[in-house]
Amino acid sequence: MANRMKTKLKLFLMTITCAAASASATQPDVKAAVDAAIAPLRTQYGIPGVAVGITVGGKHAFYNYGVASKTAGAPAVDSETLFELGSLTKTFTATLACRAQTSGKLSFDAPASQYVSALRGSPFDHVSVLNLGTHTTGLPLFVPDSVTNDTQMTAWLRDWQPPGPIGSRRVYSNLGIGLLGRAAAQSLGVPFRDAVQNDLLPAFGMTHTWLDVPASSMPRYAQGYDKHDAPVRLHPGVFADEAYGLRSTTGDLVRYLDANMGLAPLDAAWQRAIACTHTGYFTSGVFTQDLVWEQYPWPVALPTLQRGNSPDALYKGMPARALTPPLPPQAQALLNKTGSTNGFSTYVAFIPGQQIGVVILANKSYPNEARVNAAYAILDAIAKAKR
């Protein structure tokens, strides 16, 4: 008996030693892949700073490059540097809307005007809440230049006429997601900002994510640069909070991806909300349109991912086909989202069934295709290291 126990213990220790050796051997491979993916971006596009966060089975690693500002003496980028997230913000709005929907306070089938009362008697009597969250309203991407406040926005929306049948085309829209956020907040009986900052973000353990950056966190806020290298930061406009206004860190965002993959503690209500955001409601082009998230079967070829994140997919409308019934959340799928402001670039992608995800934040605007290429190479290296 004693000999058998000793033999089992020896085998167990050998297994642990081999596993540790394997982990230590693959980690440099992942780092080399991240280095190889990020270095050309910084060189080609003149990006001052890039922060990369990866999560593998809920374990995190961070790779940081450059500085938070070109100003002399600026701090190096790290996992607590604040970046503007741009349209990744939309996924938080979608999560809040799904929290309202799964709790019975918001109906995706109801007309948007049921929750945004100022739009009653307008075309939004015939636009569903689901249309808002899936970019199938026909609304344009940007708020018109002539609109600078909510009163003007309401007047513009009341006069707007759909360019075609509602639900027939996917047209990526800040306005649609802005209205989704307003509808969700109205149904919850809480101002949108309060719902995000006081409810959603704490539930996800995101303590360094802000719609308004407090004075105490301003030293961590990176300086952004536009395509001409001019310093720029976000100037909020109508629907900024709902569509593109969050600032966050790689440290917080890998926790966000963990929550989206079921690897972080969330109460049941928020878990249901996550599942709702991962549900496929339309197909459009090469991807399935979830509630804001864009989904691809895994494995997916790089050219397919590039097409789904191309300028055409962003700026041009594409035919959309409703999925009836909707597609339940898929474990073997890649979900992704880009985000941009004039001076910052974001890309996140994760694969729930593989329990891997990547976040890339930069303090300069650069093309989506380059972000996708870098993230794909990193995910490929992570997947190989897991084998």
Count Cα atoms within 13 angstroms, Cβ side, for 116: 30
CA dist 121 and 112 (Å) reads 11
> What are the φ and ψ backbone dihedral angles of 354, each rounded to 5 degrees?
-95, -10
In DSSP notation, 196-211 reads IIIIIHHHTT-TT-BS
**Is position 65 annotated as part of the catalytic site?**
no
Place of tokens 């690897």: 263
Name the active-site residue from 115, 172, 281, 366: 172
Annotated catalytic, 87? Answer: yes
135: left (phi over 0), alpha (psi -120 to 50) or beta: left
Bridge partners for 347 per DSSP: 338, 360
- If we measure between CA atoms, which residue out of 120, 92, 260 comes closest to residue 181? 92
Q: Which residue out of 69, 79, 87, 187 is catalytically annotated?
A: 87
152-182 as b/e, with b when 16 or more CB fall inside 10 Å? ebbeebeebebeeeebbbbbbbbbbbbbbbb
Q: Which residues are catalytic?
A: 87, 172
